[in-house]
Amino acid sequence: MAHAYLRDKEDLLNRLKKIEGQIRGIQRMIEEDRYCVDILTQIAASKQALNKVGIALLEAHTRGCVAAAIQHGRGDESIEELMKVIFRFLG
Amino acid sequence: MAHAYLRDKEDLLNRLKKIEGQIRGIQRMIEEDRYCVDILTQIAASKQALNKVGIALLEAHTRGCVAAAIQHGRGDESIEELMKVIFRFLG
Amino acid sequence: MAHAYLRDKEDLLNRLKKIEGQIRGIQRMIEEDRYCVDILTQIAASKQALNKVGIALLEAHTRGCVAAAIQHGRGDESIEELMKVIFRFLG
Amino acid sequence: MAHAYLRDKEDLLNRLKKIEGQIRGIQRMIEEDRYCVDILTQIAASKQALNKVGIALLEAHTRGCVAAAIQHGRGDESIEELMKVIFRFLG
């Protein structure tokens, strides 16, 4: 089955490419002995960018798979699985 | 001045290379239309790995720059800056 | 309309009463000049307990209001609202 | 020994009293069957308020106990303990 995030595929991939670039930038900062606090600020920004990708994917998943499961009377396990992954995200 | 994280430079770089690989893996999962919840689990894992790199850098910074600032009677602004960056990390 | 969390009402109230007690305990620790790290550990525990209440309420809301909205063809705004509140929770 | 947060004691206690009130308010909202998303917004706000109390206490602890430990050449374990409690806070 094609997943619901397909519509946002390009957007998600672009964001992840940008995060990949941020992670490489952090490596460069460490190699160049840059100031710790500046590096930490970049790490916090990458974390925040991952949160946003996570929310976008969560939204696509809820609109797609979870909504379909609810409409077919199989919402219970789908919602339970959704909550587990959200909880993992809070950590 | 050489920063305190220099001793852990290789370890930090290795961890960041691993995270970079995880981010690339997440892009592959999206390209291959993998199940959203599995992708979200990977994103949560990358976030957790960034938290650990952040803590390692925070520790090196505190042992190095912050400790030096305290010993030279300039602890106040150094600690204030430290708290700001920790707060950004909680988000 | 009665909300979906009604079934779990007692459980949620009990957990919140426990968290209220933890917050009072933290005040007592400060009044008694207890060691900061022990107080911080209690604050982190209360935060974690709030996360769990949040997830329980989120689950009840998704099973109830969001599922009903999806079944009545009004899923879109309900899911958008859900994502906004999850994002606020990540902070 | 008197802990460093003593100076901010009143401020910390006032904030915690406010958080205690927020937690009681959340219980009332549940008892009155208020809309889940409004309750979740309040829970997220309480969590954020706990983060701020945590940071204030962390700052007092670093300025007080950790700085003293560093000046007496016992910084290592003090900083290690500090990082452990920050890591717990990220969860």
- ipTM rounded to 2 decimals: 0.90
Run of H or E residues at C51: helix C36-61
Q: Which residues of chain D does C19 touch, with a Cβ-Cβ cutoff of 8 Å? A: 23
Question: Which 8-state DSSP code applies to residue A76?
Answer: H
Q: Total structural domains in chain B?
A: 1
How many CA atoms within 13 Å lie on the side-chain side of B31? Answer: 10
pLDDT digits (tens, 9 = 90+) for A45-74: 999 999 999 999 999 999 999 999 999 999
- To 5 degrees, how large is the angle CA C49–CA A85–CA B53? 80
Instruction: Give me the residue label for tokens 């700052």.
Output: D59
- Burial of residue C5 (CB within 10 Å: 0-12, 13-18, 19+) is buried
Instruction: State yes or no: pLDDT of B85 exceeds 70.
Output: yes
Nearest residue of A to residue C82 by CA position? Answer: A59
The subunits that touch chain D, with at least 3 C-beta pairs less than 8 Å apart, are: A, B, C
Q: Is the pTM of this model over 0.90?
A: no
Q: Which residues of chain D does A91 touch, with a Cβ-Cβ cutoff of 8 Å? A: 90-91
Q: Which of residues 10-69 of A touch C (CB under 8 A)?
A: 51, 55, 58-59, 62-63, 66-67
Tokens at residue D52, please?
A: 């701020």
pLDDT digits (tens, 9 = 90+) for B26-84: 999 999 999 999 999 999 999 999 999 999 999 999 999 999 999 999 999 999 999 99
Q: Which of A29, A87, C86, A22 is nearest to B23 (CA)?
A: A22
Domain that holds residue D36: 4-90
pLDDT digits (tens, 9 = 90+) for C49-76: 999 999 999 999 999 999 999 999 999 9
CA distance D90 to chain C (A): 8
For chains A and D, CB pairs below 8 A equal 3
- Burial of residue A72 (CB within 10 Å: 0-12, 13-18, 19+) is exposed
CATH code: domain of residue D57: 1.20.58.1000
Q: Which residues of chain B does C90 touch, with a Cβ-Cβ cutoff of 8 Å? A: 91
- Using alpha carbons, list the distances in angstroms from residue D59 to A21, B55, D55, D82: 33, 16, 6, 11
Please give the sequence-ordered ranges of beta strands (E in DSSP) within D31-91, or none if there are none. none
Asked if D1 reaches chain A (Cβ–Cβ under 8 Å), the answer is no
- Using alpha carbons, list the distances in angstroms from residue B82 to A25, A41, B47, D86: 21, 11, 21, 12
Q: What percent of chain A has pLDDT over 90?
A: 84
Instruction: State yes or no: pLDDT of A9 exceeds 80.
Output: yes
